[in-house]
Amino acid sequence: MKYAIVFPGQGSQSLGMLSDLSNNFSIVKDIFSEASDALDLDLWKLVQEDEVALNQTENTQPAMLAAGYATFKVLSNEVDLSPICMAGHSLGEYTALVAAKSLNYFEAVKLVRKRAELMQSAVPSGTGAMAAILGLEDVKVIEICNQYKISGVVEAVNFNSPGQVVIAGENEAVNKACELMKEAGAKRALVLPVSVPSHCSLMNQAAQEFSYSVDSVNINMGEVRVLHNVDASYAEDANEIKLKLVDQLCKPVLWTSSVQKMQQLGVEKLIELGPGKVLAALTRRIDKSLSCLAIIDTATFQSTIEEIS
């Protein structure tokens, strides 16, 4: 069976995540311990006990990286993995690069913490927003955003699946765009409970500052090819990987295109590693010929082992 490994991003976190896997595989806490050393805080305790802290962007991003990578290590220690490629949604792209041995895990933890801090400080609290638009074609969402951008920043930023696009920008512009989306026939236009308008031009300055942090990190081509969010394509060299990571901060996540690219490469199944089943659900909406397994506990781990062994 030809498969790809994918990693979820911010929004899939949950209090107590990976507790079941940690009871059966000691490497889970080892991975979190290494992240704790990098951040100088007890990340595992935070993830298990403090939901408010977990949902703060500067903690969520390294926690999700640790969770995805720990799940990958549990799986890779039990079976010889040979994916066609890897990918990750937004922050999950960093987990993919670590799993592919393109980026050192310890350095990645510090890098995503810096990413989160820059994103959080880029827009004053309460002035940015994101909203999920359901039931409109991509081109219509883009068209409406373009119509209203003269009054403020609002852009299509996450192309998650056909009929599911996330927009981001300034508060008033996003709220107004949501009204226009509904008038145009959207089934739902739901403002999301986030404080950072990710992947839009409001992150341009953050991306510029982040480029210095990315440049300071050693990145190589790794052992498995990684599809990048900004263009649903592979990088040709390590420098291009760095450029794509910087661009990702202020450009849309092309997840639909990424999954379609996997299908074109011959992928038959996706394996989602990390908390939740968000990417598994999106896969079914993008291409019904593809299936997606999600490892979230020991039971789903065992069933995945049986399928790919």
Among this protein's residues, is 199 annotated catalytic?
yes
8 Å CB contact between 30 and 296? no
Choose the catalytic residue: 12, 36, 90, 198.
90
Sign of CA dihedral 208, 157, 128, 174: positive
**177-178-179-180 Cα dihedral, nearest 10 degrees:** 50
8 Å CB contact between 71 and 295? yes
Tokens for 287? 């291409």
8 Å CB contact between 63 and 101? no
Q: Which residues contact 302 (CB under 8 A, 6 or more apart)?
A: none
Ramachandran class of 51: left when φ > 0, alpha when ψ lies in -120 to 50, beta otherwise: alpha
Quote the radius of gyration of the chain (alpha carbons, Å): 18
Which phi and psi (to 5°) does residue 92 adopt? -60, -20
Closest-CA residue to 181 (of 140, 234, 236, 150): 140
List the beta bridge partners of residue 114: none
Q: Cα separations (Å) of 261 from 6, 184, 229?
A: 13, 30, 11
Closest-CA residue to 199 (of 138, 146, 252): 252
H or E element at residue 38: helix 27-39
Work out the number of other CB atoms within 10 angstroms of the CB of residue 273: 31
8 Å CB contact between 197 and 168? yes
Choose the catalytic residue: 36, 89, 199, 228.
199
Q: Which residues contact 193 (CB under 8 A, 6 or more apart)?
A: none
Could you list the active site residues?
90, 199
